[in-house]
Amino acid sequence: MQPIPFYKMSGSGNDFIIIDHRTPLLPPLPAAQFVAKVCRRRMSVGADGLILIEKSETVDFKWRFFNSDGSVAEMCGNGARCAARFAFLNGIAPEVLAFETDAGVIQARVTGDQVRIKMSAPHDLVLNDAVIVAGYPLPISRVNTGVPHVVMEVKDLPRANVKSVGREIRTHEQFAPAGTNVNFVAPLGDDLWGIRTYERGVEDETLACGTGNVAAALVLALRHGIPSPITFKTLSGTCLKVFFQREGERFSEVHLEGDARLIYTGQVGPEAWDYDG
């Protein structure tokens, strides 16, 4: 088995292994198993997810996106920005490009290490809902921005029980069988919002979640009348900006903008995925 070249990229602290897979390179084992092995931190490369860039018959390329546990996700905003810049850096696509995902065709524009993507149309938006956790109703809103998200407004974001409460909601029967991502948001002042996210598939809090920022922006726009764009400070310390057009409770032209940085390039060989544990 020849070593597999890859890029390690970060979108606001969400990190990804990206492989040019237009010519198939993966070893002869289930893709989910390969992904879970190489995304395991300290045992292999380590990442929040893995992206395969493949050929498309209609647009610049298509991707296959995997969470770090090997599960497939329809969409990932931070991953989409990294995939777009990867394609530009490798001559696969121009600065303005489009690619296929399971959530639809995503359009992107690359400007240096900043990438702006047009999101697929949000759906299943429900405001002022509730979920029972430990016998108590928690006020939530929810929306699908390519993947399902719950949004909770909290008063003290640093002290929010993101891991414990997030895990309970992520696997709650109310969102079975697919589960949901869970976002905690609070105002930081000066038109800036803080956000923390428990991500499905990673099964932990991550430093950022692009689709979660979009979900939070749409909920805040409806609940508080906040105009576009809305800026969020993520746990990584970097900011993501969400743009949209709103007519009543309907949204269009939803865009996400933020960094997509190349961290390093390398090659993985069999010892990166052929180990016990």
167/180 same-domain check:
yes
Catalytic annotation present for 209: yes
* pLDDT of 190 strictly over 90: no
220/172 same-domain check:
yes
Q: Which pLDDT value is given to residue 45?
A: 98
Q: Which pLDDT value is given to residue 51?
A: 98
pTM (2 d.p.): 0.95
* pLDDT of 250 strictly over 80: yes
84/137 same-domain check:
no
Closest CA to 149 of 232, 209, 220: 209
Distance CA 190, CA 87 (A): 35
Residue 93 lies in a domain: yes
Q: Which pLDDT value is given to residue 263?
A: 98
229/267 same-domain check:
no
What's the half-sphere exposure (Cβ side, CA atoms, 13 Å) at 73? 32
Residue 118 lies in a domain: no
Residue 29 lies in a domain: yes
Residue 87 lies in a domain: yes
What average pLDDT is seen over the chain? Answer: 97
Q: Which pLDDT value is given to residue 135?
A: 92
From the list 39, 76, 82, 239, the catalytic residue is: 76
Residue 226 lies in a domain: yes
| pLDDT-based confidence at residue 257 (cuts at 50, 70, 90) | very high
Q: Which pLDDT value is given to residue 88?
A: 98
| pLDDT-based confidence at residue 277 (cuts at 50, 70, 90) | confident
* pLDDT of 70 strictly over 90: yes
CATH code of the domain containing 58: 3.10.310.10
Residue 30 lies in a domain: yes
Mean pLDDT of 86-106: 97
139/88 same-domain check:
no
Residue 94 lies in a domain: yes
| pLDDT-based confidence at residue 52 (cuts at 50, 70, 90) | very high
99/139 same-domain check:
no
Mean pLDDT of 38-67: 97
Q: Are 240 and 258 within 8 A, CB to CB?
A: yes
Quote the domain boundaries for residue 218.
Answer: 123-258
From the list 39, 82, 209, 239, the catalytic residue is: 209
Paired strand residues for 20 = 53
When divided into structural domains, the chain yields a total of: 2
DSSP one-letter string for 127-144: EEEEEEETTEEEEEEEEE
137/234 same-domain check:
yes
* pLDDT of 1 strictly over 80: no
Q: Which pLDDT value is given to residue 220?
A: 98
> Tokens 């589960």 correspond to what residue?
179
Mean pLDDT of 19-35: 95
Residue 277 lies in a domain: no
CA-CA distances (angstroms) from residue 185 to 33, 81, 162? 34, 22, 11
